Amino acid sequence: MINAMLYTYNDITKDVVESPDVCIIGSGAGGAVMADVLSGAGLDVVVLEEGGYYTKDRYSAYKPAVAMKILYRDYGATVAFGKNPIILPLGKAVGGTTVINSGTCFRTPDSVLRDWAQRFGVQNASTREMEPFFEQVEKTINVTRVSPEVLGKNGLVFKRGADALGMSNGMLMHNMINCHGCGRCAFGCPHDAKQAVHLNFIPSALEQGARVYANARAEVITLEAGRVTKIQGSILNEQTGNRLFNLRVTPKLLVLAAGAIYSPYILQKNSIRLNAELGKNLTIHPAVRVTALFDEIIQGYKGVPQGSYVDAYASEGIMLEGIFVPPEIGLPVLAPIGKENKEAARRYDHLAAFGVMVSDKNSYGSVKVGIDKRPFITYHFDPHDFKKLVKGIALAAEIFFAAGARTVNTGIFGFREFTSPDDVAQLFTKKVPVTSVEMMAFHPLGTARMGEVRDHTVVNSYGKVHGLDNLFISDGSIFPTSLGVNPQVTIMSFALRNAQYIADHKGAFFA
């Protein structure tokens, strides 16, 4: 037993039976905040997390490839299927994806909040009304701007190019304290500099009496007369994934915070259909990596990987944000074997990389229960959104050349390395098939939309599921549209707001 009431599989010797006021499935950005606020309101709270509990002592002992195995779901290889399969990494640990994200912090854009109010009837969520929740979250997770000292040369080189072209750019805001710039944000911070929720909201909830079960998978949700009455599941062996003990929770209220993929999946798997919108409207912020070779030494794996940005075309839905990975992760992608791998290793210190991310305004995806009983994710990349991605790739290439790059690799199959700024025009004069672009995505949202327009939403403005008395959803699935920016602050801020709503209405939910 860790931190008084955080239990891992090693602490459990028999079946677990709990009857709390609130059960929360998921301990990431949405679940951790809910647990903190509701336990602070005097409610008895139990949190179930399928992943394990990992600390900096364990992070520092693992190389990045091993960290991916233990901290990511499916080794980081969750896939959204479509014309071009897109890798969609998801965290699986106490703290959820906040443990393995890049730490980037944005508030919800004003235009997005206005759109949600106008089109979906989301109430009491204007920029002014959300301000105190943004402020509280930012204070708790210590949001501060990345400094040049820890940015690393990868970010500084790209900034040099953006400045030369007169493009708006800057250092990103991160949730961090005393960052060492070690470059391992995406593999668990070995210094506890990145303030993931297992370092703040989860400990606060534990201090207030919440109980957190790691290695605890929720499997069956039982409904009776429009209410959740029981959750059943398993305590899992962390190494093998085998069931050790049974889990049974009978709460007065259930908060589902398993993320935009697994929240709809859990409900669908239990034949809790809610309405036709559940599992639909998935957005994922499609992204691609653009790399450049310089004569100078970059060593992009040193410094904050995602420390700077270019937002000159953010109004068009195009964001450029830093990205880099250690050699043992990057080299197999660049060239898996043979002479090409040796050459890539020789050049690695001279490479710089940056990410292109687009707000998927017209694209859409879905989550269903597959024939193997696992989540089956599909995604249709709209041609208009794809054009934005290609434009973003062109912008990144131009910036790299302005910074002095010798060559630029676009990540598009069929296009040779660009050797001059003139080559960038090829992206607009030649056909670029969707299937030719090596893509990833990082921010699944939208599969259980919130709002008061019930035909087009799954939950109300505070996350309560339409038609069920005691079920809330608290994760990225409730956001009606793509954000265009990294979502962790938005998820935490709405979780804080919605948890406060539950606490303020305890009489209605816990009579």
Residues marked as catalytic: 443
Element (H, E) at 123: none
Distance in angstroms (rounded) separating the CA atoms of residues 303 and 352: 12
Element counts in the chain: helices (H) and strands (E): 15, 23
Beta strand residue intervals within 129-196, DSSP E = 143-145, 169-171, 173-175
Burial class (CB in 10 A: 0-12, 13-18, 19+), 157: buried
Q: Which of 329, 368, 373, 371 is nearest to 351 (CA)?
A: 329
What lies within 8 Å, CB to CB, of 326 at 6+ separation is: 64, 183, 184, 187, 301
Q: β-strand 375-380 against 227-236: which pairing, if any?
A: unpaired
Distance in angstroms (rounded) separating the CA atoms of residues 173 and 195: 12
Distance in angstroms (rounded) separating the CA atoms of residues 116 and 428: 34
Distance in angstroms (rounded) separating the CA atoms of residues 405 and 293: 6
Element (H, E) at 289: strand 286-293
- The answer to whether residues 25 and 256 touch, using CB atoms and an 8 Å cutoff, is yes
Element (H, E) at 310: strand 308-310
Burial class (CB in 10 A: 0-12, 13-18, 19+), 337: exposed
Distance in angstroms (rounded) separating the CA atoms of residues 260 and 172: 25
Adjacent-strand bridge partners of 192: none
Distance in angstroms (rounded) separating the CA atoms of residues 395 and 165: 10
> Diameter of the chain by CA atoms?
70
- Residue 427's identity, in one-letter code, is L
DSSP of 222-278: EEETTEEEEEEEEEE-TTT--EEEEEEE--SEEEE-SHHHHHHHHHHHTT---STTT
